[in-house]
Chain A
Amino acid sequence: MSWMAWTLPTAVFFSVIAAILVCMTVFELRSPCVERKGFLPIETTRGDRLFIGLLTSAYIHLMYVGLTDMTLWIALGISCVWLFIVMRWG
């Protein structure tokens, strides 16, 4: 596995993603969700909102890195807030 060149931050990153996926699956099995319409222009399920949130977060990070030189923690904060907003009201 040494060729995969694991580092702590990426390991944490993938663990978090995997944990989210597991939680979502369990949650879904316990209480299946229905599609609903929030502020996003399309009807979405919980999984759709997660995907949209993660994808836009990735873009937020990219824009942040491309345009500014400040620390990434701010971008991470913005993304988390955004993810929460999308999951809750999207």
Chain B
Amino acid sequence: MNKTENNKAWFLVLPVFLLVAFSAVIPLMTVVNYSVQDIFDQNTAYFVGAEWYREVLQDPRLHDSLIRQFIFSGCVLLIEIPLGIAVALMMPTKGKAASLSLILLAIPLLIPWNVVGTIWQVFGREDIGLFGWALNSIGIDYNYASNPGDAWFTVLLMDVWHWTSLVALLCYSGLRAIPEAYYQAARIDRASKWAIFRYIQLPKLKSVLVIGILLRFMDSFMIYTEPFVLTGGGPGNSTTFLSQTLTKMAIGQFDLGPAAAFSLIYFLIVLLVSWLFFTSISHLDKSE
């Protein structure tokens, strides 16, 4: 679609611009200010330059949680995207069954994140939770509170439970946008199921998958509440992700300076990855 060139359109964007500037730019500037100072209270602060950045960059805690974070986000994407597509392909297409499964699938998305944590905290316990109890009674020694491997497994399972529905719903909508005529043509050609998926469904899913992957990457990279409630970052530090390290620093120890420097580094990482992803996708779109 051809768009007309019109700078008056800025007036329509102005409210958004002002609102986001108020709630994003001012805080961001403040974070930058904090990150170069040693702050004791409202009126006592010393300029320390890049000292906090140096401290944070050389802090092994940051390295560890950064690595954990990337592994976690990678796992989340690897599991949830294919599973979400599969669920979308299996969903009924018409009638009551379609809206019923739509509603049931959407439930996990609408549960407050700490309640999600609570649900799995209870569900995974070996004394009062069905899941932990079932695993233990079939002979698997499972305890997410003391075994790091189990804790990781539980956090991942919780995230899959929580968010695969989003991917599935997005893909479902993408699949619905494919005209029936395409499938009929494929049937006449005796196309295999894989060929239908590869050449009809997947290309149509591309745009929703982009959104799905971006949202899942960003949100899994910021995950805080659910593992905080479920495992509290433990056992040890095995499920302490970036946000949690940061929040501990900022609120728990009230180290404003290092926390602010950490925030900015965190933000830069997310910005870079998302930008790379965003540009490569829109670039692919153009070259086609």
> Given the complex of chains A and B, what is the CA–CA distance between A41 and B30 in angstroms?
35
Interface flags for B240-273 (1: CB within 8 Å of A; 0: not) read 0000000000000000000000000100100110
List the A side residues contacting B283 at CB < 8 Å.
Answer: 42
- Is B213's CB within 8 Å of the partner chain A? no
Q: Please give, as numbers and ranges, the residues of chain B lying within 8 Å of A31 by CB-CB distance.
A: none
CA of A6 to CA of B37 in the docked complex: distance in angstroms? Answer: 10
Given A2-B43, A5-B39, A62 contacting B53 (CB threshold 8 A): yes
Query: Do residues B275 and A65 form an inter-chain contact, with CB atoms below 8 A?
Result: no
Instruction: Tell me the complex Cα distance, A69–B272, Å.
Output: 25
On whether the beta carbons of A10 and B53 are closer than 8 Å, the reply is: no
What's the minimum C-beta distance from B181 to chain A, rounded to whole angstroms?
A: 35
**B interface majority secondary structure:** helix
Number of contacting residues on B, CB 8 A? 27
What's the minimum C-beta distance from A44 to chain B, rounded to whole angstroms? 9
Q: Does B32 contact A (CB under 8 A)?
A: yes
Using a CB–CB cutoff of 8 Å, the interface residues on chain B facing chain A are 7, 26, 29-30, 32-34, 36-37, 39, 42-43, 45, 47, 49-50, 53-54, 57-58, 265, 268, 271-272, 275, 279, 283
Q: How far is the CA of A6 from the CA of B275 in the complex (A)?
A: 29
Which partner residue on chain A sits nearest B47 by CB separation?
Answer: A7
A-B contact pairs, 29 of them (CB 8 A): A2-B42, A4-B30, A4-B33, A5-B30, A5-B39, A7-B36, A7-B37, A7-B47, A9-B47, A9-B49, A10-B29, A10-B33, A14-B29, A14-B32, A42-B279, A42-B283, A51-B275, A55-B268, A55-B271, A55-B272, A59-B268, A59-B272, A61-B50, A62-B53, A62-B57, A65-B50, A65-B54, A66-B53, A72-B50
Q: Which 4 A-B pairs rank lowest in CB-CB distance, beginning with the nearest?
A: A66-B57, A5-B33, A65-B53, A4-B30
Query: Are A13 and B275 closer than 8 Å at their CB atoms?
Result: no
Query: Residues of A within 8 Å of B, CB-based: how many?
Result: 22
Q: Please name all residues of chain B whose beta carbon is closer than 8 Å to the beta carbon of A29 when the two chains form the complex.
A: 7
A65 touches which of B30, B34, B57 (Cβ 8 Å): B57
